[in-house]
Amino acid sequence: MNSIVPASAIERRWPEGAVDEIVRLVDVHRRFGETPALDGISLTARRGEILGIIGRSGAGKSTLIRCLNGLERCDSGEILIEGRKISGLSERELQPLRRRIGMIFQHFNLLSAKTVEENVALPLKIAGVARTERLDRAGELLDLVGLADKAMAYPSSLSGGQKQRIGIARALAAGPALLLSDEATSALDPETTRSILALLKDINRKLGLTILLITHEMEVVRGIADRVAVIDAGRIVEEGPVWSVFAEPQSAVTTSLLSGIRPQLPDHMARRLSQTGGTEAIFSVDLAGPAAQGSLLSDLSAALPHSFRLVHGGIDHIQNQPVARFFIAVPTRDAELPARVQQFLTARSARVEGFGYDTDHA
């Protein structure tokens, strides 16, 4: 019989000798014909961490998650779960390892003919856990996800958010070390998405559970992840703490994925910019940490007294870190002023990019 960690336990208790790295991928490759789905992926996720893996459709996210749970075999490289290599394991040898991995899905995958309680308890029934114990466990988990009163209901009577909560409870049934979330909020409205993300964060905090979020939504990553890895064409093109990646994206893919939630130059202004000259030079300025809440613009005005304009932008807070992005307009009457402004800002840890010249502002 399996030993199951109580859902009510809030302490982070680990077996003697437990490894700190729950997931480790080393130079993982997977091809389908001539197409590389994973092209040298190396990645780690530590115990208790929430790691967001984000990319466009076709980037390799689905193949990656299938390799992690053993449904796909990588062609080369190593995948380790709790320090154990899964490549080369037989299907029978993979079964106990899969019980250490919980899965939640975009479309819930609940069995319509079974009650909520039976859906949650199903993994334990398959694992041979006694009926009394598995129903007790289901009750604990339904209480954890806030749906204890729905134990005897059927999935057809539940909302999308409730179905996903049941899916989360089922994924936790065997007391996994790793929870894989495969686009788990994509089918939900924004308000429900926020509630599901809050639930996952609460579970992570209470149980110390490692969570890998596979998503194409930067809002999801911003909501709860500790780190983010950006995947494109089967490769990790960027990774780091969420606040750092949001503040200073290094790849074009990341910049594109962030375009919907970071301040952008308003369309009406972008359309009238010229690359050859105008009355004002337009710059974007990115800052993070203490510099984002400092007196940079007032310092700039004091050092270079001219009529600068703040045209757009704002400050966000990600992982309790201030992250700022704003756009300024610099007069071009003094031909050297734009370069001096850029030099001043860069010297104070700002990331500065020239967007062109405003031809219409007088």
Residue pLDDT tens, the chain, 362 long: 344 444 443 334 444 445 689 999 999 999 999 899 999 999 999 999 999 999 998 999 989 999 998 888 999 999 999 999 988 888 888 888 888 999 998 888 899 999 999 999 999 998 899 999 999 999 999 999 999 999 999 999 999 999 999 999 999 999 999 999 998 898 899 999 999 999 999 999 999 999 999 998 898 999 899 999 999 999 999 999 999 999 889 999 999 999 888 888 888 888 888 887 788 899 999 988 888 877 887 888 888 877 788 889 988 888 888 899 999 999 888 888 888 999 999 998 889 998 888 877 65
**What's the CATH fold of domain 267-358?**
Alpha-Beta Plaits (3.30.70)
Local structure of residue 360 (DSSP, 8 states): S
Q: How far is CA 130 from CA 92, 121, 122, 148, 172, in A?
A: 21, 10, 11, 21, 17
Strands laid side by side in the 21-32 sheet:
35-46, 21-32, 76-81, 84-85
Whose structure tokens read 């694992």? Answer: 127
- Where does residue 353 rank: exposed (0-12), middle (13-18), buried (19+ CB within 10 A)? exposed
Backbone angles phi, psi at 296, to 5 degrees: -60, -50
* Among the listed residues 47, 43, 15, 52, the one whose alpha carbon sits nearest the alpha carbon of residue 210: 47
Domain spans of the chain, in order of start = 21-252, 267-358
Strands laid side by side in the 273-274 sheet:
273-274, 351-358, 280-288, 321-331, 309-318
pLDDT (0 to 100) of residue 14: 42
pLDDT (0 to 100) of residue 30: 95
* Among the listed residues 257, 259, 284, the one whose alpha carbon sits nearest the alpha carbon of residue 351: 284
Q: How far is CA 96 from CA 11, 14, 81, 162, 259, in A?
A: 24, 18, 12, 29, 42
| Domain covering 21-252 in this structure, CATH number | 3.40.50.300
Q: CA 169, CA 137: separation in Å to the nearest integer?
A: 10
pLDDT (0 to 100) of residue 111: 94
